[in-house]
């Protein structure tokens, strides 16, 4: 059976159980017993070994459920919910459309149209055609997730409405998303955990990681009374340096401003004004990551 040790859970492999059971059978029935997998006793050993191995797997899974890097599925939800971090739910795609037909026709919410590939979109609210027999509206995919609709592809009416004659999407659909996968959910949880950190840099980095579009961020601080250089990057005295890849400039600057303490300066090649509680603009600086080509 699996054992809990100081270094974690140690499980016995399927082969290990087969070896142990074969030893037990030989001890009970003699060394000459035929334990070939085709014999009844060999099949009994195989069934028992598989059952014991599956039990070990269950024990390991339960033990791993407390480790964010090993947990999966609902196990991650259980860990992340402690910090109030929820898995991002799936969202529907949406696309702008022009509806045409007889003037003043009321096209009710739930009316559907489909693309050439059969993907269905619907109105979420009633739309009444104007006096010229046309109206602009937004249609949402019936199914949540990444449902495409290129410009002009949403053109087939599904639900017949008296007076509604044509539909056409005027732009590519803004794609929805599927339920957040485990890897992304782990990252979101770790970002929130860092956001709650006691250190200034940890809080800043955690807040920036939560910003949509940020793929990477690193932060360093200098609490000395003179400039210091870290990996060829100079940080002024009593300042924090943040390097970010991706995300909105204004959101990043706002996150830095809200998480840094008074008297702590910022530095970098990008400077964004942030409005403080008194209505004054405060310049917040950070550095944008630069891509370096890899040469073999």
Report the pLDDT value the prediction gives residue 7, as an integer from 0 to 100.
61
Query: Could you identify the residue written with the tokens 């149209």?
Result: 113
Report the pLDDT value the prediction gives residue 70, as an integer from 0 to 100.
66
Between the alpha carbon of residue 38 and those of residues 25, 53, 216, 281, the distances in Å are: 16, 20, 56, 81
> pLDDT under 70 in the chain at which residues?
1-9, 63-67, 69-70, 72, 78, 82-84, 192-198, 292-296
Close Cβ partners of 210 (under 8 Å, ≥ 6 residues apart): 188, 191, 192, 195, 255
Distance CA 35, CA 129 (A): 81
Query: Could you identify the residue written with the tokens 């009633």?
Result: 126
Distance CA 170, CA 98 (A): 7
Report the pLDDT value the prediction gives residue 209, as an integer from 0 to 100.
85
Report the pLDDT value the prediction gives residue 198, as an integer from 0 to 100.
58
Distance CA 49, CA 20 (A): 9
Decide: 25 and 35 in contact? Cβ < 8 Å. Answer: yes
Residue 232: both structure tokens together: 């060829």
Close Cβ partners of 137 (under 8 Å, ≥ 6 residues apart): 96, 97, 98, 99, 123, 127
Report the pLDDT value the prediction gives residue 170, as an integer from 0 to 100.
95
Distance CA 273, CA 270 (A): 10
Report the pLDDT value the prediction gives residue 293, as an integer from 0 to 100.
67
- What would the pLDDT profile of 146-203 be if each residue is shown by its tens digit? 999 999 999 999 999 999 999 999 999 999 988 888 887 787 777 766 666 557 888 8
Domain coordinates in residue numbering, the chain: 3-64, 94-169, 197-288
Report the pLDDT value the prediction gives residue 6, as an integer from 0 to 100.
62
User: Whole-model pTM?
Assistant: 0.47
């Amino acid at each position: 059976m699996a054992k809990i040790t100081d270094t974690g859970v140690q499980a016995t492999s399927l082969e290990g159980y087969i070896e142990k059971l074969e030893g037990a059978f030989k001890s009970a029935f003699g060394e000459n017993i035929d334990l070939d997998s085709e014999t009844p006793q060999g099949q009994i050993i195989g069934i028992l070994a598989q059952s014991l191995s599956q039990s070990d797997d269950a024990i390991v899974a339960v033990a791993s459920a407390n480790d964010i890097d090993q947990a999966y599925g609902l196990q991650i939800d259980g860990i992340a919910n402690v910090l109030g971090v929820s898995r991002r739910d799936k969202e529907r795609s949406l696309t702008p459309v022009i509806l045409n037909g007889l003037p003043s026709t009321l096209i009710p919410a739930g009316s559907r149209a489909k693309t050439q590939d059969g993907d269905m979109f619907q109105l979420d609210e009633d739309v009444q055609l104007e006096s010229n027999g046309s109206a602009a509206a937004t249609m949402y995919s019936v199914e949540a997730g990444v449902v495409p609709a290129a410009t002009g592809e949403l053109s087939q009416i599904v639900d017949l409405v008296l007076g509604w004659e044509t539909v056409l999407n005027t732009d590519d659909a803004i794609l929805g998303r599927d339920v957040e996968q485990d890897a992304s959910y782990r990252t979101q949880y770790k970002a929130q955990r860092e956001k709650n950190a006691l250190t200034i840099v940890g809080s800043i980095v955690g807040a920036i990681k939560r910003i949509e579009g940020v793929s990477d961020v690193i932060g360093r601080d200098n609490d000395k009374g003179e400039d210091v250089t870290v990996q060829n990057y100079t940080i002024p005295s009593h300042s924090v340096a943040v390097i970010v890849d991706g995300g909105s400039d204004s959101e990043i600057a706002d996150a830095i401003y809200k998480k840094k303490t008074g008297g702590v300066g910022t530095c970098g090649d990008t400077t964004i004004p942030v409005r403080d509680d008194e209505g004054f603009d405060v310049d917040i600086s950070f550095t944008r990551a630069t891509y370096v080509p890899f040469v073999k």
